[in-house]
Chains A and B, each alone.
Chain A
Amino acid sequence: MTKHVIVIAGGLSHEREISLESGQRVARELTSAGFNVTVSDLDPSLITLLKGADQPVVFSMLHGGVGEDGAVAEVLDLVGVPFVGSRAVACRASYDKALAIPVAARAGLATPARVILPHDMFRDLGAPNLMGLIEDRLGLPLVVKPSASGSALGVSIVERIDDLPIAMVNAYAFGRTVVVEEFIAGVEVAVPVFDLGAGPQAFPPVEIRPQSGRYDFEARYTAGATTYICPARLDDDVITACQTMAVEAHQALQLRDFSRADIIVGQDGPVFIESSVAPGMTETSLVPLSLETAGQSLSAVLAQLVRLADQRQ
């Protein structure tokens, strides 16, 4: 009998639109692989759908918020439905940069110098005092980003200290905690990791060259605004180092099935930025491009993930 796959997409996060696109793409690929696919939003009808389906497998393409912070994984465990992707506890640690970066650093990965603070601290201690300390510690330029968000939403690169306050306010629009990092100049790459049954394996790094110089929301989701080169134009040993870093991050964060590591190759080598547990699968996303370059079919790889999840019942 044809396996029923329920793709969850949409949700109420700031990345809803991207999630819907990713979900449709995954649904198309799994349908072409022969599965019976239903796409569902994250709404009250979902539980009924999950409980009423005949031994379904869930493939969540929810980006941001409850989709990546482990909440949906927790619910799927509660319902007792097997699903593709990382378990709740790993999602929680990976999605929140305030938790993930220290884990990666402890595992020996190079990470940017950073400060992670809730907005209450600025209010209680005085923003000018704290911002001064941040500048002293990290210098300029700085990268300001929400602790838990994706798609570059709320992210700013601050080159002048006068621009730091507005960058902080913009980042806090997406959550109560903000990460301020040193800016790493270098080649930006994304490295997909898939575990197709033989342990986590890194795929070719995708080099990201936004025309504007910044890989912001517009550069990510406007076709033509960014040039992607796969594999990245890096020396073989650097490519290997990036792939090793991606796999080590996947393992250190105890991720499952697949992830995408964002890395910047700076003067001193690769620096780990973050790993995503639900990387985008839109037409402009990086994971499908990397798979294609490696001679893999996205459809076949996603199908294998579903089969592996099904075996975990």
Chain B
Amino acid sequence: MTVPQKRVETRIDPYVDAYASRTRGLKASAVRALFAVANRPEVVSLAGGMPNIADLPLDVVGSLVSELISTRGPQAMNYGSAQGEEPIRQQICQVMALEGIEAAADDIIISCGSQQALDLVTRTFIDPGDVILAEAPSYVGALGTFAAYQAQVVHVPMDDQGIIPEAFRQATVAARAKGRQVKFLYTIPNFNNPSGILMTLERRQALLAVARELDVLIIEDNPYGLLALDQPPLPAIRSMDHDQVIYLGSFSKTFAPGFRVGWALAPPAVLKKLVLAQESATLCPPVFSQFVISAYLSNWDWQGQIVKFRDMYRSRRDAMLRGLEDHMPDGVTWTHPKGGFFVWATLPEGLDADQLSARAASYRVAYVPGTAFYADGLGSRNMRLSYCFPTPERIYEGTRRLGEALREEMGLRATFGLVRSTKRDQSTAEIVGASHQLGGAS
């Protein structure tokens, strides 16, 4: 036997007591660890939300980059304005006009993806304990940002037309009655991540009316608006009001996410704060990326490219809906998105998508459990299924595997008498009700 020299007591990380309290939620997760298999080719990953940019004209982009370096290299590779470069801000106005927004370049700030714009907005508005209202369910990346600034997220139910204005009103009134500051409502009105739901025009107008009445700012996050697969894009909420809405946009889904260029369009006073926040965060957004995207917008039929993207995503969306129809056991429901990347599935009562993920991994298929999209632990019966990246054939195969995993799980639960859940998931129930009304996609 070996003889130890002296006793060691350790928690492995010597800085464990030095971290900020807001990092306490950053823990290892068995469910997250299971995602590691999603990158393997044997696994059909319906988990990631990575845009499929295989159809981009890489030769054109290469030429643009080469010309950029040879003609304006020193400028493109230097520091720039904290607000972002003027030419791309002008061009962004043209992009936003496609969704009815009239804006001036001076009202735009460029960010490192719209994710950083959301971070700047949250940093600017949120004190610990402030309330942010968000759709139920809502984008996991936004929830992470809100948690980092120690906001309290209150979810507002949705139906097949989007967030429910009366529920928005009730949530605001209830929070204020408790003495809480409601700082803003965060919404993804176009093909919500993760539910895929498109907020109707009437609902946008009604939502805005409540926001004006209660004086609540709306953060309109719109990464998927131009990826409407079945109809022209709807007018953005920002197109209806200049003062009540901060609009977040992105080139990640309509061009390429690797350049990390997004933006915020904000009322002038807010914009000044965001620019100051940007200076302290990054000094300036990446200049080179802005120049590349600006050149792409100037020299390529980028709207034609988006039409190609739509065709590609439509075939994938249709493959997923066909696969779900063919393979899901009775009792499973799902949304029928008219754009974007995601289908939101709801499992029968008693099933738990977190627990199912291990069995799904055994069947070589991956998805994101619904609890990731709630700040309050709901969503256990939901899963987000992405159709953006795999081929249509792989997507269809993925739904087949998922169906097998579900059947086995349901069989086991029946064996052990676990047919009904003891807890009722109200937010899930709202979406379940919606999914029956959404109809076919094509």
- Interface centre among A216, A224, A240, by most chain B C-beta atoms within 10 angstroms, is A224
Contacts of B17 in A (CB 8 A): 224
What is the 8 Å Cβ interface bit string for chain B, positions 2-36, against chain A (1 contact, 0 not)?
Answer: 11111111111100110000000001111001111
Contacts of A166 in B (CB 8 A): 416, 418
- Across the interface, do B413 and A169 meet the contact criterion of CB distance under 8 Å? yes
- Across the interface, do B416 and A217 meet the contact criterion of CB distance under 8 Å? no
Nearest to A19 among chain B residues (CB) is B36
Closest chain A CB from B226 CB (angstroms): 35
Supposing A16-B37, A223-B16, A224-B11 touch, asked if A218 and B30 sit within 8 A by C-beta, the answer is yes
* Interface segment, one of B109-117, B320-328, B355-363: B355-363
Would you call B40 an interface residue if the criterion is a C-beta within 8 Å of the partner chain's C-beta atoms?
yes
* Interface segment, one of A32-40, A51-59, A91-99, A196-204: A196-204
- Across the interface, do A223 and B418 meet the contact criterion of CB distance under 8 Å? no
Closest chain A CB from B406 CB (angstroms): 12
Interface residues on A, range: 35 or more
Cα distance A203–B27 in the bound complex, in angstroms:
30
Total number of residue pairs linking A and B with CB closer than 8 Å? 134
Contacts of B13 in A (CB 8 A): 223-224
Contacts of B412 in A (CB 8 A): 119, 169, 172
Contacts of A216 in B (CB 8 A): 30
Cα distance A233–B40 in the bound complex, in angstroms:
43
Would you call B71 an interface residue if the criterion is a C-beta within 8 Å of the partner chain's C-beta atoms?
no
Closest chain B CB from A131 CB (angstroms): 8
Cα distance A34–B12 in the bound complex, in angstroms:
26
- Across the interface, do B28 and A295 meet the contact criterion of CB distance under 8 Å? no
CB-contact partner of B416 in A18, A122, A204, under 8 A:
A122
Would you call A231 an interface residue if the criterion is a C-beta within 8 Å of the partner chain's C-beta atoms?
yes
Contact residues, A135-183 vs B (CB, 8 A) = 151, 153-154, 165-166, 168-170, 172-174
- Interface centre among B28, B43, B409, B413, by most chain A C-beta atoms within 10 angstroms, is B28
Residues of A within 8 A of B (CB): 10, 12-18, 20, 43, 119, 122-123, 127-128, 151, 153-154, 165-166, 168-170, 172-174, 201-204, 216-218, 220-231, 233, 240, 243, 283-284, 289, 292-296
Supposing A128-B417, A169-B416, A289-B8 touch, asked if A14 and B2 sit within 8 A by C-beta, the answer is no
- Interface centre among B2, B11, B40, B43, by most chain A C-beta atoms within 10 angstroms, is B2
- Across the interface, do B417 and A127 meet the contact criterion of CB distance under 8 Å? yes
- Across the interface, do B8 and A173 meet the contact criterion of CB distance under 8 Å? no
Closest chain B CB from A242 CB (angstroms): 10
Residues of B within 8 A of A (CB): 1-13, 16-17, 27-30, 33-37, 40, 42-43, 355-356, 358-359, 361-362, 364, 409, 411-413, 415-418
Nearest to A216 among chain B residues (CB) is B30
Cα distance A199–B102 in the bound complex, in angstroms:
79
Closest chain B CB from A193 CB (angstroms): 11
- Across the interface, do B417 and A165 meet the contact criterion of CB distance under 8 Å? yes
- Across the interface, do B4 and A16 meet the contact criterion of CB distance under 8 Å? no
- Across the interface, do B409 and A169 meet the contact criterion of CB distance under 8 Å? yes
Supposing A123-B415, A165-B416 touch, asked if A223 and B5 sit within 8 A by C-beta, the answer is no
Closest chain A CB from B208 CB (angstroms): 42
- Across the interface, do B5 and A294 meet the contact criterion of CB distance under 8 Å? yes
Contacts of A153 in B (CB 8 A): 30, 358
- Across the interface, do B416 and A228 meet the contact criterion of CB distance under 8 Å? no
Closest chain B CB from A119 CB (angstroms): 6
- Across the interface, do B1 and A240 meet the contact criterion of CB distance under 8 Å? yes
Supposing A165-B417, A229-B9 touch, asked if A221 and B28 sit within 8 A by C-beta, the answer is yes
- Across the interface, do A122 and B36 meet the contact criterion of CB distance under 8 Å? no
Supposing A221-B28, A223-B12, A284-B12 touch, asked if A18 and B2 sit within 8 A by C-beta, the answer is no
- Across the interface, do A18 and B33 meet the contact criterion of CB distance under 8 Å? yes
Closest chain A CB from B399 CB (angstroms): 19
- Across the interface, do A14 and B34 meet the contact criterion of CB distance under 8 Å? yes
- Across the interface, do B28 and A222 meet the contact criterion of CB distance under 8 Å? yes
Closest chain B CB from A95 CB (angstroms): 16
- Across the interface, do A14 and B361 meet the contact criterion of CB distance under 8 Å? yes
Contacts of A16 in B (CB 8 A): 33, 36-37, 40
Cα distance A154–B377 in the bound complex, in angstroms:
20
- Across the interface, do A122 and B415 meet the contact criterion of CB distance under 8 Å? yes
Contacts of B409 in A (CB 8 A): 169, 173
27 contacts between A and B (CB under 8 A): A12-B42, A14-B37, A14-B358, A16-B36, A17-B35, A17-B36, A123-B411, A153-B358, A165-B418, A169-B409, A170-B358, A173-B358, A174-B362, A204-B4, A216-B30, A217-B29, A218-B28, A218-B29, A223-B11, A223-B12, A223-B16, A228-B9, A229-B10, A231-B4, A240-B1, A283-B12, A293-B6
